[in-house]
């Protein structure tokens, strides 16, 4: 269900994409092979009628040097890069994307508005983790399990519609062991917020196993808005992921998320920054990417 999945060649996803994870580690000498494969799949997509699977997204684990070089060779297709840690420093999970010519793209005025919203986050400083704990707000964190009671399931289902996986049944998400849904309840057992994540684990040739976590979104009940619960739900889930990785001695090399500037709130965006999230938008200079040469700035997906 992830944005890219762990399969190669690219396969259809729930959100009208063809997506795949390139199976080989990419250093500068391997760039041409990656570009050739990407162009083959992109060409095939363009030949079909626009509609389902009208966007191609390829994730590739690349060195910093390779990332910089491929951004220079095909600047319009490099959309974002997630830096890796946990022994894979100086490498990135790079997203390369293209859309069918018949698929709508973002209007330039919208892009300008989104840039202003992102730029506004520069003034935000991360908040102390003590403040962001559920317990400090009299909230109780839970992980959704298959045997969740009907009342809680119904409340979760209402909130889950506002996340990235809103079109997928909640039951199927909970049943999969690589998914996690953290939800918060108040003293009356009302579910007030949730955060979801999916683990992607793949063996990348010439590098090793890479484990990344994709956040699938946070949602807060409308009558509990503006209380900082987006931030609390997100930080509670991150703590859970860290605890699990320590318990099972499994390294997490990156945690990332696609944030919808179209349907998401500015509050949720700022909450992520308060929790220490770094926006790929600000990494263009790291890879010598000139946003003036692009129709859409680095870090903003032109065709979601």
Q: Cβ contacts of residue 256 below 8 Å, gap of 6+?
A: 82, 93, 212, 213, 214, 215
Give me the pLDDT at residue 113, please: 92
CB distance 286 to 295 below 8 Å: no
Give every residue of the chain whose pLDDT is below 50, as ranges.
1
Tens of pLDDT, residues 248-274: 889 999 999 988 877 777 887 888 898
Checking DSSP bridges between strand 55-63 and strand 17-21, what pairing results, if any?
Answer: parallel
Give me the pLDDT at residue 51, please: 67
Give me the pLDDT at residue 50, please: 60
3-state secondary structure of 281: helix
CA–CA distances in Å: residue 115 to residues 124, 182, 221: 15, 30, 27
Checking DSSP bridges between strand 55-63 and strand 91-99, what pairing results, if any?
Answer: antiparallel
Pick the CATH number of 127-275 from 1.10.760.10, 3.40.630.30, 3.30.70.20, 2.40.110.20: 3.40.630.30
Torsion sign over Cα 79, 84, 89, 91: negative
Domain ranges (residues) in the chain: 11-106+281-293, 127-275
Closest CA to 97 of 49, 39, 36: 39
Q: Where are the alpha helices (DSSP H) in the chain?
A: 31-47, 64-73, 108-119, 150-160, 170-175, 229-247, 266-274
Tens of pLDDT, residues 33-49: 999 999 999 999 888 86
Phi, psi of 224 (to 5 degrees): -120, 20
Length of the chain: 304
Rg (CA), the chain: 19
Nearest 5°: CA angle at 90, between 89 and 92?
90
User: Looking at domain 11-106+281-293, does it have CATH number 3.10.450?
Assistant: no
Give me the pLDDT at residue 132, please: 76
């Amino acid at each position: 269900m992830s944005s890219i999945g762990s399969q190669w060649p690219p396969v259809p996803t729930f959100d009208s994409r063809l997506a795949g994870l390139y199976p080989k580690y990419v250093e500068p000498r391997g760039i041409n092979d990656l570009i050739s494969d990407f162009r083959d799949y992109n060409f095939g997509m363009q030949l079909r009628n626009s509609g389902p699977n009208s966007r191609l997204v390829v994730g590739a684990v690349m060195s910093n040097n390779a990332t910089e070089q491929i951004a220079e060779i095909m600047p319009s297709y490099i959309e974002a890069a997630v830096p890796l840690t946990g022994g894979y420093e100086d490498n990135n999970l790079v997203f390369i994307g293209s859309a069918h010519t018949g698929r709508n793209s973002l209007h330039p005025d919208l892009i300008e508005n989104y840039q202003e919203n992102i730029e506004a986050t520069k003034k935000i400083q991360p908040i102390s983790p003590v403040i962001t704990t559920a317990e400090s707000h009299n909230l109780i964190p839970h992980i959704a399990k298959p045997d969740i009671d009907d009342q809680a399931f119904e409340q979760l289902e209402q909130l889950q519609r506002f996340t990235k996986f809103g079109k997928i049944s909640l039951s199927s998400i909970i049943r999969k062991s690589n998914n996690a849904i953290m939800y918060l309840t108040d003293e009356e057992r009302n579910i007030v917020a949730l955060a979801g994540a999916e683990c992607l684990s793949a063996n990348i040739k010439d590098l090793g196993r890479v484990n990344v976590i994709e956040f699938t979104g946070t949602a807060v009940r409308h009558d509990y808005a503006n209380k900082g619960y987006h931030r609390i739900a997100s930080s509670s889930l991150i703590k859970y992921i860290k605890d699990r990785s320590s318990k099972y001695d499994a390294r997490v090399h990156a945690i990332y998320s696609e944030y919808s500037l179209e349907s998401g709130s500015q509050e949720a965006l700022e909450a992520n920054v308060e929790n220490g999230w770094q926006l790929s938008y600000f990494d263009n200079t790291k890879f010598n990417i000139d946003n003036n040469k692009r129709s859409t700035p680095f870090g903003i997906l032109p065709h979601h």
